[in-house]
C-alpha cells in the first residue's frame, strides 16, 4: 500500500448538469428545451424516461448542498438551463429562473463550496433548435447574449466558467442519431465550427465584462486512441479517429486552427468549405484559460478495409463497442486508467502544457447491493482509485492538472439510457427522492479531507 498525494491547492469537486437533475421542467416560467421535446416523444429514450422530475434538485437544492458539505466538496460543477433564464433563448428574461441560480450559488458560497458553472450542457431552448440549432450561425449571437447576461449577473460570485460541455456529443453524435431530423455530416461538421465561434465570442464577452477576474474555458470529451492491432489499416483508423474526435476539437480551442489532414478528408468527400480568415482570427484572439477534460474510457481503432466514402466517417466518429474480454463498466465502456494518463501526457506535450481540469470522470455501475443504507459500489470505488492514481502520475510528471470532478454527484437522468444507468456517488431512490451514501462517496469524503488516498 502506498499513499497517493495530491499537490496543495488541488481542487476536489463533483459534477452534474441541469437537465439531468433539476426536474421542474415547466415550472416558474421555464421554457421548453430540446431535451424536454426529445423525452416527450416516444421511442428515443430507454423506457421513455424523462427529466420531468429527475432528482427534483430544483426544489431540493439546499439539502443537496448540505450533502456536498458533508462530503467536504470544495467545488461543484453544475450547468445552467438556458431556457430557465431565457425561455425562448433570446429576449425576455425569466426572473424566477435567475432567482433559482442566485439561491443555489449563494447557498454554495455560504457553505464554502466554489461554483464551477457550465453555460451549456445540451438543454438548448427548443425555439433555437427550430431555427436550425447549432447548424445555423444565427445562434452565435443568442449564445453570446445569454453568456453576457450570466457574467453580468453571477460573475461577481462565480469565478470559474465553462462555455460548452462536449461539442462532439451535442453537435455531432445527437444529430447523427437523428434527434433533429436530417443528418448531414457536412452541416454537422460546420456546426462544430459555429460552436467554436460562439465559444470564442463568449470569452471575448467575458474579458469585456466587469467580472472578468476569473477563469473561462471549455470542456471536451476526448480519449486516448490506440490501434486495435498493429496493421497499417488500424493505424490509419487511429489517426483518423483521433483527428475527428480529438484534434478537430482541441486544435481550434488551443491553437486556433483545424487539423489539416481532417480538412483534406472532409474536402475530398464533402466539398467542405474552407474557414473564413476572420473566424480563425476570432479563435486565435480569444484563448481559453483552461481545458476541461471529460474522460471515461479509451478508444480502440479498427478498419478492415480502406476508407471508401462518407459512410466510413459516420462509423469512425461515433464510439464503437469494447472488445470481448476486456474490463468494462455497466455502460459497456472499457476501463483503462492508463488511457487517462496517456491522454493527459499527450495534451500536455502537444498543446503547450495547458491548465487542465478533469471536469468529468466516473463509472456507470449496477449498484444493486445496499447494506445498512450504504450502496456497496466496490466496482466504482476501484475505478475511481485507479483513474485518480493515473491522473496523479501525470501530475508528478509535470502535467498542469489542477482539479478533478467526479461524474456524478448523484444518480441522474443518463440521457438516452434514462434512469437505467447510475453514475452517482450519492444514490437517488427515485420513488421517494431519498438520498443515500455509497462506499465511493464515503471514501471520496476522506480523500478530500486528506488530499491523498491509499492505493
| CB nearer to ligand PNW: pick between 169 and 370 | 169
Question: Which candidate in 32, 334, 360, 414 is catalytic?
Answer: 360
| CB nearer to ligand PNW: pick between 56 and 334 | 334
Answer yes or no whether residue 319 interacts with ligand PNW by CB under 6 A: yes
| CB nearer to ligand PNW: pick between 140 and 162 | 162
| 70 included as an active-site residue | no
Counting every residue, how long is the chain? Answer: 455
Distance in Å, CB of 435 to ligand PNW, minimum: 18
Answer yes or no whether residue 127 interacts with ligand PNW by CB under 6 A: no
What 237-243 contacts at long range (C-beta under 8 Å, 24+ apart), as own/partner pairs, is: 237/301, 237/302, 237/303, 237/316, 238/301, 240/265, 240/301, 240/307, 240/316, 241/299, 241/301, 241/316, 241/317, 242/301
| Window 144-173: contact mask with ligand PNW (x via CB under 6 A) | ---------------------xx--x----
Question: Which candidate in 166, 334, 397, 429 is catalytic?
Answer: 166
- Cβ neighbors of 288 (< 8 A, separation 6 or more) are 199, 203, 216, 217, 218, 253, 254, 354
Number of alpha carbons in the 13 Å side-chain half-sphere of residue 287: 9
Rg (CA), the chain: 21
Determine contact, residues 131/194, Cβ cutoff 8 Å.
no
What 1-4 contacts at long range (C-beta under 8 Å, 24+ apart), as own/partner pairs, is: 1/454, 1/455, 2/454, 2/455, 3/452, 3/453, 3/454, 3/455, 4/388, 4/389, 4/392, 4/452, 4/453, 4/454, 4/455
Nearest to 103 by CA among 86, 80, 122: 80
Determine contact, residues 403/12, Cβ cutoff 8 Å.
yes
Distance in Å, CB of 281 to ligand PNW, minimum: 30
Nearest to 359 by CA among 232, 227, 221: 221
Taking CB under 6 A as the criterion, the residue among 294, 361, 392, 440 binding ligand PNW is 294
3-state secondary structure of 33: strand
| CB nearer to ligand PNW: pick between 321 and 373 | 321
For residues 202-241, which are near ligand PNW according to CB under 6 A? 221
Determine contact, residues 334/300, Cβ cutoff 8 Å.
yes
| CB nearer to ligand PNW: pick between 330 and 407 | 407
Alpha helix (H) residue ranges in 332-418? 337-350, 378-396
| CB nearer to ligand PNW: pick between 405 and 453 | 405
Answer yes or no whether residue 414 interacts with ligand PNW by CB under 6 A: yes
Residues in the interface with ligand PNW (CB under 6 A) total 13
**CA angle 149–154–155, rounded 5-degree value:** 95
Distance in Å, CB of 329 to ligand PNW, minimum: 10
3-state secondary structure of 44: coil
Distance in Å, CB of 78 to ligand PNW, minimum: 11
| CB nearer to ligand PNW: pick between 180 and 423 | 423
| Window 367-406: contact mask with ligand PNW (x via CB under 6 A) | ----------------------------------------
Taking CB under 6 A as the criterion, the residue among 116, 407, 444, 453 binding ligand PNW is 407
| CB nearer to ligand PNW: pick between 62 and 366 | 366
Strands 11-15, 75-79: pairing is: parallel
Distance in Å, CB of 5 to ligand PNW, minimum: 28
| 434 included as an active-site residue | no
Taking CB under 6 A as the criterion, the residue among 17, 129, 246, 440 binding ligand PNW is 17
Taking CB under 6 A as the criterion, the residue among 61, 357, 423, 453 binding ligand PNW is 423
Answer yes or no whether residue 360 interacts with ligand PNW by CB under 6 A: yes
Distance in Å, CB of 221 to ligand PNW, minimum: 5
Distance in Å, CB of 317 to ligand PNW, minimum: 12
Answer yes or no whether residue 258 interacts with ligand PNW by CB under 6 A: no
Q: What is the dihedral of CA 37, 43, 45, 48, to 10 degrees?
A: 90
Distance in Å, CB of 270 to ligand PNW, minimum: 24
Determine contact, residues 411/54, Cβ cutoff 8 Å.
no
3-class SS string, 375-398 = ECCHHHHHHHHHHHHHHHHHHHCC
List contacts with ligand PNW (CB under 6 A): 17, 20, 165-166, 169, 221, 294, 296, 319, 360, 407, 414, 423
Active site residues: 166, 360
Amino acid at each position: 500500500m502506498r499513499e497517493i498525494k495530491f499537490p496543495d491547492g488541488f481542487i476536489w469537486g463533483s459534477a452534474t448538469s441541469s437537465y439531468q437533475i433539476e426536474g421542474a421542467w415547466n415550472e416558474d416560467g421555464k421554457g421548453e428545451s430540446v431535451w424536454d421535446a426529445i423525452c416527450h416523444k416516444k421511442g428515443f429514450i430507454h423506457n421513455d424516461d424523462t427529466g420531468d422530475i429527475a432528482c427534483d434538485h430544483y426544489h431540493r437544492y439546499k439539502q443537496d448542498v448540505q450533502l456536498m458539505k458533508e462530503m467536504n466538496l470544495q467545488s461543484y460543477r453544475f450547468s445552467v438551463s438556458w431556457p430557465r433564464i431565457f425561455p425562448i433563448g433570446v429576449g425576455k428574461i425569466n426572473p424566477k429562473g435567475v432567482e433559482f441560480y442566485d439561491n443555489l450559488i449563494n447557498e454554495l458560497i455560504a457553505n464554502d463550496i466554489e461554483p464551477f458553472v457550465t453555460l451549456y450542457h445540451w438543454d438548448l431552448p427548443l425555439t433555437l433548435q427550430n431555427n436550425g440549432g447549432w447548424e445555423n450561425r444565427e445562434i452565435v449571437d443568442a449564445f453570446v447574449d445569454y453568456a453576457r447576461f450570466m457574467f453580468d449577473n453571477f460573475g461577481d460570485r462565480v469565478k470559474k466558467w465553462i462555455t460548452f460541455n462536449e461539442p462532439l456529443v451535442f453537435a455531432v453524435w445527437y444529430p447523427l442519431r437523428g434527434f433533429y431530423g436530417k443528418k448531414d455530416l457536412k452541416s454537422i461538421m460546420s456546426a462544430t465550427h459555429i460552436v467554436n465561434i460562439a465559444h470564442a465570442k463568449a470569452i471575448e464577452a467575458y474579458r469585456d465584462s466587469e467580472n472578468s477576474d476569473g477563469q473561462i474555458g471549455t470542456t471536451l470529451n476526448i480519449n486516448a486512441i490506440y490501434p486495435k492491432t498493429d496493421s497499417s489499416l488500424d493505424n490509419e483508423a487511429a489517426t483518423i479517429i483521433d483527428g475527428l474526435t480529438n484534434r478537430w476539437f482541441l486544435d481550434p480551442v488551443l491553437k486556433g486552427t483545424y487539423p489539416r489532414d481532417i480538412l483534406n478528408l472532409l474536402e475530398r468527400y464533402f466539398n467542405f468549405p474552407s474557414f473564413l480568415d476572420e473566424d480563425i482570427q476570432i479563435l486565435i484572439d480569444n484563448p481559453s484559460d483552461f481545458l476541461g477534460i471529460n474522460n471515461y474510457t479509451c478508444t480502440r481503432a479498427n478498419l478492415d478495409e480502406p476508407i471508401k466514402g462518407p459512410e466510413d466517417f459516420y462509423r469512425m466518429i461515433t464510439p464503437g463497442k469494447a472488445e470481448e474480454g476486456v474490463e468494462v463498466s455497466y455502460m459497456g465502456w472499457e476501463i483503462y486508467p492508463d488511457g487517462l494518463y496517456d491522454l493527459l501526457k499527450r495534451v500536455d506535450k502537444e498543446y503547450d502544457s495547458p491548465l487542465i481540469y478533469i471536469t468529468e470522470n466516473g463509472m456507470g455501475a449496477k449498484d444493486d447491493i445496499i447494506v445498512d443504507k450504504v450502496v456497496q459500489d466496490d466496482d466504482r470505488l476501484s475505478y475511481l482509485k485507479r483513474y485518480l492514481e493515473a491522473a496523479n502520475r501525470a501530475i508528478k510528471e509535470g502535467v498542469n492538472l489542477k482539479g478533478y470532478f467526479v461524474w456524478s454527484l448523484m444518480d441522474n437522468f443518463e440521457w438516452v439510457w434514462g434512469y437505467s444507468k447510475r453514475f452517482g456517488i450519492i444514490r437517488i431512490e427515485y420513488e421517494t427522492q431519498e438520498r443515500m451514501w455509497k462506499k465511493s462517496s464515503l471514501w471520496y469524503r476522506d480523500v478530500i479531507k486528506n488530499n491523498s488516498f491509499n492505493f
